[in-house]
Structure 1
Amino acid sequence: MNRKNFVKTSVLAAGGFGFSGQASFKQRGGGSVGNEHIKISLNAYSFNRYLQEGDMDLEELLMYCAKLNFDAFDPTGYYFPNYPGVPDDEYVYQLKRKAFVEGLEISGTGVRNNFTDPDPAKRKDDVAHVKKWIRVAAKLGAPVIRVFAGRGIPEGYSRHEMNGWIAGALKECVACGKAHGVMIGVQNHNDYLKTADHVLEILRLVDSDWLGIILDVGSFSTEDPYEDIARVAPHAVSWQIKEYLGFRDQRVRTDLNKIVAILQEVNYRGYIPIETLGGDPMEKVPRFLEEVREALANG
């Protein structure tokens, strides 16, 4: 059996899925355990290799999430047909319908962009790119679209200059997001936004209720990443819960109990997409999902 067929069999077999989405929905139990206002989602990047190599598509990933009783899934834009172009409406609406039938919410989507490129024409193109995908997110029913600040500080430029570029670009994106009812979430990605101070400065400069943080717990490689996470947590509109985080330049296992405590401290209500990196996601995702559920149940 080749890997494509193996993936399809793995997605369909254990849950008893046939052609009736309604039937499979009735067979499933509840989703999240404890902390009832927190919903667990899966970030599609967990299956990046499968999706990029054609061994799985977004609809098959959706079915996999339904089988594991996720509350939602996050179909990253990279995996839609025609990316970086936008997909046909028919594809978007079919995926949206399938998610509804399977009892899954769509927690968000995301794109690639770089607002620290020295070429103003390229930054302008990236703003236009985000705006196109804001419209896709609205059609999909995704409440937030994930964007990046930039890839770093180009040689010969200052952080002050970069902040101005990023804030200007995000203001344009925010205006479009507001017009279409989609939040803009900028992710701390350990490239330009490395610390809580970096994140908070961008939020201050843009100053909009339609901008928040996609809080990536694995991307603060600081002296105490939990402190950085806690400082920006009040501004999180979604999360990326990862297995490892940076601690004094080392990768250490994420203390999920600490993460849950922070979620509770800020009274977070919403989605916490999980994302596993490396290894086989067919093995890692179910295991990590249970760890997150256990931490929420004990919180």
Structure 2
Amino acid sequence: MSYLSISTWSLHRLLGPLRLTAWNTETGEHTVREQEQPQIHTLLELPAEAAARGYQAIEVCHFHFPTTDSAYLEQLRSSFQASDVRFDTLLLDYGNLTANDAVQRKADLSFIKKWIDIASHCGAKQIRVIAGEAPPSDEEAIQLSAASLAELANYAAAKSVRVITENFKALTSTAASSLKLLSQAGDSVGFITDFGNYYSPEKIEQIGSTIPFSVSVHVKPSYDSEGFPDEAELISYLQKVQHVGFSGAYVLIYDGPGDMWEGLARVKAIVEPYILTAG
């Protein structure tokens, strides 16, 4: 059955500092840089706030975790359970499985496994892992990424977490490369189709081709200067998803100007009729 969800990215101006991970080529280590943002809600408060606004699930970006100590992760799990909101996906926003530097690739693989452990501890059903930043035409990179994703999926399965990837970053920027990757990685690896991350004139067909493999869709419209979505464009994507057949999370994405909850509500009003007739 289909349902409404939100990504914490859609509220990034309300959830406090972003803790952004990067690779330091000079030291051969991961670094974290804090980017200040206002804090209107804590992450622990978000499930109840989302439930009150009519959302059934949340996807949480890894840079919104203020800490990953055991006590906090237990609190986060409890906050989702108390609000009857699903913690669908931990969106890991760092990691390059196709990095040219073998040292970085090994370090990133270990980093991803650490976050799989975190996902398991706080009750996330899935973890989104970036497939890689190599060009989509790089066949060796697709093979390397698929093998790494399959390894990670096997690691995660033992912890009751599913590994999924997304048309996010260069390697999966086309439907053809995405489908090739999924074919090689195997059924244990799932997918997210993001409306905003295919760019060719055949964008709608590309969206349609990856929907059968997707556990969620990122409903990311184009916006005008006042934060109002391009309704006709968005409906064309939603109709394609409905035509192909989709039963999963419609994750609303808003990064326009003004109040982020109000921006999400404008998208929600367009999407809700498709939730009611989907699945």
Task: Give the match's secondary structure for 2:116.
Answer: helix
Whether 2:116 is the aligned partner of 1:134: answer yes
Question: Which residue does 1:197 correspond to in 2?
Answer: 176
Task: Give the match's secondary structure for 1:41.
Answer: strand
Aligned length: 250
Aligned partners of 2:10, 2:183: CA distance in 1, in Å?
31
CA RMSD in angstroms, aligned pairs only:
2.3
Question: Which residue does 1:148 correspond to in 2?
Answer: 130
Question: Which residue does 1:222 correspond to in 2?
Answer: 200
Aligned partners of 1:194, 1:58: CA distance in 2, in Å?
30
Q: How does 1:22-101 map onto structure 2 within 5 Å?
A: 37-51=1-15, 52=17, 53-55=37-39, 56-82=41-67, 87-101=68-82
Question: Which residue does 1:271 correspond to in 2?
Answer: 249
Aligned partners of 1:284, 1:252: CA distance in 2, in Å?
12
Question: Which residue does 1:17 correspond to in 2?
Answer: none
Deviation of 1:190 after TM superposition, in Å, equals: 4.8
Q: TM-score, normalised by structure 1?
A: 0.76
Question: Which residue does 2:84 correspond to in 1?
Answer: 103
Question: Which residue does 1:173 correspond to in 2?
Answer: 152
What does the per-residue CA deviation read over 1:184-205, in whole Å, with 9 as the maximum and x for residues that have no partner? 1111025221211010111122
1:163 touches 1:202 (CA, 8 Å); kept in 2? Answer: yes
What does the per-residue CA deviation read over 1:171-224, in whole Å, with 9 as the maximum and x for residues that have no partner? 2211112222211111102522121101011112212x2201111111000112
Question: Which residue does 2:26 correspond to in 1?
Answer: none
What does the per-residue CA deviation read over 1:206-262, in whole Å, with 9 as the maximum and x for residues that have no partner? 12x2201111111000112110011111111222111239xxxxx965644444434
- Normalized per residue, the structure richer in helix is 1
Deviation of 1:79 after TM superposition, in Å, equals: 0.7
2:3 touches 2:275 (CA, 8 Å); kept in 1? Answer: no
Query: Larger Rg: 1 or 2?
Result: 1
The share of aligned pairs that are identical, in percent, is 26
1:185 touches 1:238 (CA, 8 Å); kept in 2? Answer: no
Task: Give the match's secondary structure for 1:50.
Answer: coil
Deviation of 1:160 after TM superposition, in Å, equals: 2.0
Question: Which residue does 1:243 correspond to in 2?
Answer: 221
2:4 touches 2:275 (CA, 8 Å); kept in 1? Answer: no
Aligned partners of 1:255, 1:140: CA distance in 2, in Å?
36
Aligned partners of 1:195, 1:285: CA distance in 2, in Å?
27
2:6 touches 2:251 (CA, 8 Å); kept in 1? Answer: yes
Deviation of 1:116 after TM superposition, in Å, equals: 2.2
Aligned partners of 1:225, 1:183: CA distance in 2, in Å?
27
Q: Tell me which amino acid in the other structure corresponds to 1:210.
A: S
Aligned partners of 2:257, 2:47: CA distance in 1, in Å?
20
Whether 2:104 is the aligned partner of 1:122: answer yes
Q: Which runs of 5+ in 1 are unaligned?
A: 1-36, 246-250
Deviation of 1:71 after TM superposition, in Å, equals: 0.7
